[in-house]
C-alpha cells in the first residue's frame, strides 16, 4: 500500500489478526532485518527501489509464519542485479525458515538457477514435471531444451556426422570429454557451439559437435553414438542421415523421466 511505510506494510496481516502492538513491532523488526531493510522501516514505497519493494512484500508474506511461500513473478521488471539479489534472498529465507517456495515465473534463467523441481502448466494442466537437473540432461524433455537452450544453424548441421550432445547430472562427465571422444574414435572432434552451466553444484551442458573422419578410418555413426554414451553423453544426430541414428541414441542414452 502506497500510504503505508515499509514497517506498516509488513505489520498489516498481524494487525488484521489483532496481534498486540509489542508483538507486532518485534515481528516486523525481525522480518525487515531478515530481508535487509532494517534501515528502511520508515520509508514509503515511492522512496524504495523495485527490489526493495519486493523485499517488503516478501517480509509481509512471512509475517504469519507460513510453511509455504507463493512467489508470483517475484523478479518481473527487475534488473539483473536486483533479480540475483531477490533470488539469493529467497534461497536464504527458504533455509532459515524451513520454507517450501512455489515460484511462478516465465524466466528460464530463474528456474535453472534456483528451482529444485519444475512443473510446466498449460491450459490448467501439468504437461511436464521433474527435477531440474534431470530434465536438463534429458534429450526428450521440451522444458529441458528451454532451460538450457542451444542454437544450431542449418549450415552447422548440414555436414556429415553432426551431433547435438547434452549431459546433465545423472552421470559424471569428464571436463575433457571432447578430447577423450577424439581419442576413442581416432578422429577430430570439432566444437561449433556450446552452453555449460553449474546447476545445483553439478555441471550440465549442451553442445553441437561434428566428427571428421581421418583418411583410412572406417566406422559408422552407431559407433560414435556408443562411444558418446559410454562417456555419459546423450547424443542426437543432426545431419540428413540422422533419423535411424537418432532413434538408437535415444534408446541407449535417454534417462527415465521423473513425472509428478
What is the 3 state secondary structure string of 58-91? HHHHCCCCCCEEEEECCCCCCCHHHHHHHHHHHH
Q: pTM, whole model, 2 decimals? A: 0.69
Query: For the residues 145-151, what does the mean pLDDT come to?
Result: 83
How far, in Å, CA of 153 to CA of 182, rounded? 23
**pLDDT class of 160 with cuts at 50, 70, 90:** low
Q: Judge whether 69 and 81 are in contact, CB under 8 Å.
A: no
> How is residue 209 written as a grid cell?
559437435
CATH 2.130.10.10 fits 136-253, yes or no: no
pLDDT digits (tens, 9 = 90+) for 88-105: 999 999 999 999 999 998
The fold of the 6-105 domain, in CATH, is: Rossmann fold (3.40.50)
Give the whole-angstrom CA distance, residue 255 versus residue 229. 11
**Where are the CATH 3.40.50.300 domain residues in the chain?**
6-105
**Which residue ranges does the chain devote to CATH 3.30.70.260?**
136-253
pLDDT at residue 252 above 60?
no
Amino acid at each position: 500500500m502506497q500510504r503505508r511505510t515499509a514497517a506498516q506494510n509488513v505489520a498489516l496481516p498481524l494487525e488484521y489478526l489483532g496481534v498486540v502492538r509489542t508483538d507486532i513491532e518485534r515481528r516486523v523488526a525481525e522480518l525487515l532485518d531478515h530481508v535487509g531493510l532494517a534501515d528502511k522501516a520508515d520509508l514509503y514505497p515511492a522512496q524504495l527501489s523495485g527490489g526493495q519493494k519486493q523485499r517488503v512484500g516478501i517480509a509481509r508474506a512471512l509475517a504469519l509464519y507460513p510453511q509455504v511461500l507463493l512467489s508470483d513473478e517475484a523478479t518481473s521488471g527487475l534488473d539483473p542485479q536486483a533479480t540475483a539479489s531477490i533470488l539469493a534472498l529467497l534461497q536464504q529465507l527458504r533455509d532459515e525458515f524451513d520454507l517450501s517456495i512455489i515460484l511462478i515465473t516465465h524466466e528460464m534463467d530463474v528456474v535453472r538457477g534456483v528451482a529444485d523441481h519444475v512443473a510446466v502448466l498449460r491450459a490448467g494442466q501439468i504437461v511436464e514435471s521433474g527435477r531440474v537437473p534431470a530434465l536438463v540432461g534429458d534429450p526428450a524433455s521440451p522444458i529441458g531444451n528451454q532451460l538450457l537452450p542451444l542454437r544450431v544453424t542449418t549450415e552447422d548441421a548440414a555436414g556429415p556426422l553432426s551431433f547435438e550432445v547434452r549431459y546433465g547430472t545423472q552421470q559424471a562427465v569428464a571436463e575433457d570429454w571432447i578430447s577423450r571422444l577424439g581419442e576413442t574414435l581416432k578422429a577430430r572432434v570439432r566444437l561449433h557451439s556450446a552452453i555449460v552451466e553449474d546447476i545445483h553444484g553439478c555441471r550440465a551442458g549442451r553442445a553441437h559437435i561434428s566428427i571428421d573422419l581421418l583418411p583410412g578410418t572406417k566406422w559408422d555413426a552407431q559407433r560414435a553414438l556408443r562411444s558418446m554414451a559410454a562417456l555419459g553423453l546423450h547424443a542426437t544426430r543432426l545431419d540428413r542421415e540422422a533419423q535411424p541414428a537418432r532413434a538408437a541414441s535415444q534408446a541407449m542414452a535417454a534417462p527415465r523421466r521423473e513425472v509428478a
